[in-house]
Amino acid sequence: MPIRVRLTAFAAVGALLAVLVGGWIFVHQLRDGLHASVDSSLRTRADALVQTVSDTRGGIDFQDQGSTKLLDAKEAIAQIIGPAGGVVEASQAAGRKILIPADVVRAAQRSTVYAEGRIPHDSHPSRFLATPVVRSDGRWVVVVGSSLEAADDAVSRVQSGLVLGGIVTVLLAAGGAWLLGTLALRPVERMRRQAASISEHDAEGRLPLSRTHDEIAELGETMNALLARLQQALAQQRAFVADAGHELRTPLAILRTELELASLPDRDEFELRHAIAEAATETERLSQLAEELLFLARHDEHGPRRSRELQPMRPILDRAAAVAISRAARKRVAIALDVDPELAAAVIGDDIRRAIDNVLTNAVRHAPIGSTVEIRAARVRDDLVITIADQGPGFPAEFLPRAFERFGRADTARTRDDGGSGLGLAIVRAVARDHGGDADVSNRPDGGAEVSIRFPIRS
């Protein structure tokens, strides 16, 4: 159901409930006020009759219908009930039949009582007041009454006005809510149409923003920021796919060429062995590249967090150094490891090992002959910092800001023989961030590159 329809329905229902409750309270207060006014008039008339009945010095003859003007009035409703329970005197409008029930008469002999009833030949209800008069010859009851026709007519007119006014109020509330909803949601509708027109190829598409600086404008700003992030992620994904395709193309082309050469006739055993060796090398490169791509893809998915175990760091770094030593020996490069045997951290051992291997491979590749690659691990406050430094040429200054970009390479490492896939440092940062930390690269003042991995010891 559209928001405008719901808003209009809520406004109409709310206005209807307000009119009903407010009208009910007002009508009841009006009726109570009119009845209070009638009661006040009845008390005044009753007091006059009580004085007449209680004054025995005048020797009033109650059989004389003209003994009091109050009883002479044709419109007046009044009765005087004697101790025996019969009507002693009554006005013409009241008649000789007792107007109030017998139980009310008995109650009125003790205290003043109000009651409602009807008088003969009147379709409207009347309000009665019965009050006792104590005389030497017994308890008399004075009854006065007044028709509620005027009060009921006033209440009826007010109710009719409230019904008409309530209908108008509900219609105005519904119309106002519809208009307000239309005006309030107009910017949202504009943003919806613009969002529907933005395609995946529109890198600059944004939603129109209103100048009201309200919640809708803030929503538009948030959506534009989201669009910018999505477009940036999409651009990075496209660049990633393009770079991956470029990286895969070279080894695949070499592999195909070697296989085609191996399939040619008149190839001797040496040429076949060389072709197979080259094909195996390219296959290994393809396998490593695919594994690195899969690792980064799993990292980008932000799936369930893998469990980490508190374990000593020395064995992990020892194994990484042992693998690097075999590669470093061919260049007469030494591997120096400096780590406290008691140092432990909550880590995913395989991922930390992958990150260290990537950095060590790059460090050994660029380390000069006879130099040393240093591996240090230390606790800095609540963090574990692993630093790998070499004595090579270091990173070009323009490469440092984009060192962790995927398929990013320094200018000195762009050849296939000297450079890797360009994913090593990207994997290092991904591992560090998976552990709640980060990675950093820099050049040492005395020459060489340095890569640092930092993450909380207990993450």
Confidence of residue 389 (pLDDT cuts 50, 70, 90): very high
Q: What percent of the chain has pLDDT over 90?
A: 19
The residue-averaged pLDDT of 383-391 equals 92
In this predicted model, what pLDDT tens digit does every residue of 265-281 receive, in sequence order? 777 777 777 778 877 87
Confidence of residue 304 (pLDDT cuts 50, 70, 90): low
In this predicted model, what pLDDT tens digit does every residue of 430-459 receive, in sequence order? 899 888 899 999 998 888 899 999 999 875
Confidence of residue 74 (pLDDT cuts 50, 70, 90): low
Residue type for 46, please? A
Highest average pLDDT, of 61-70, 126-135, 212-221, comes from 126-135
Confidence of residue 200 (pLDDT cuts 50, 70, 90): low
Residue range(s) in the chain whose domain bears CATH number 3.30.565.10? 307-456
More confident residue, 73 or 270: 270
The residue-averaged pLDDT of 345-359 equals 89
Highest average pLDDT, of 26-30, 177-181, 221-225, 228-232, comes from 26-30
* pLDDT at site 415: 45
Going through 194-256 in order, the beta strands assigned E by DSSP cover none
* pLDDT at site 65: 43
The residue-averaged pLDDT of 329-338 equals 89
How far apart, in Å, are the Cα atoms of 64 and each of 72, 98, 111, 156?
11, 18, 27, 41
More confident residue, 430 or 206: 430
Task: Look at strands 334-339 and 372-380 and give their pairing.
Answer: parallel
- Which CATH number fits the domain 215-300, given the four candidates 1.10.287.130, 1.20.1070.10, 3.40.50.1100, 1.10.420.10? 1.10.287.130
* pLDDT at site 446: 85
* pLDDT at site 75: 57
Q: Tokens for 188, please give them.
A: 């949202």
Going through 40-149 in order, the beta strands assigned E by DSSP cover 77-81, 87-90, 113-117, 126-135, 138-147
Highest average pLDDT, of 181-190, 293-302, 311-320, comes from 311-320
Q: What is the dihedral of CA 79, 82, 87, 92, to 10 degrees?
A: -30
Confidence of residue 61 (pLDDT cuts 50, 70, 90): very low
Least confident of 195-209, 211-225, 306-320, 445-459: 195-209
Contact 76, 45 (CB under 8 A): yes
* pLDDT at site 411: 53
- Which CATH number fits the domain 3-56+67-152, given the four candidates 3.30.420.40, 3.20.20.110, 3.30.420.110, 3.30.450.20? 3.30.450.20
* pLDDT at site 197: 76
Going through 24-64 in order, the beta strands assigned E by DSSP cover none
pLDDT reading at 420 higher than 70? no
Confidence of residue 221 (pLDDT cuts 50, 70, 90): confident
In this predicted model, what pLDDT tens digit does every residue of 14-40 receive, in sequence order? 999 999 999 999 999 998 899 899 889
| C-alpha span between 145 and 122 (Å, rounded) | 13
pLDDT reading at 175 higher than 70? yes
* pLDDT at site 16: 92
pLDDT reading at 387 higher than 90? yes
* pLDDT at site 459: 57
- Sign of torsion over alpha carbons 365, 370, 371, 372: positive
Contact 130, 108 (CB under 8 A): yes
Q: What does DSSP assign to residue 451?
A: E
| C-alpha span between 258 and 138 (Å, rounded) | 138
Kindly state which CATH superfamily the domain 307-456 is placed in: Histidine kinase-like ATPase, C-terminal domain (3.30.565.10)
Residue range(s) in the chain whose domain bears CATH number 1.10.287.130? 215-300
The residue-averaged pLDDT of 96-122 equals 86
- Mean pLDDT for the chain overall: 81
The residue-averaged pLDDT of 76-86 equals 85
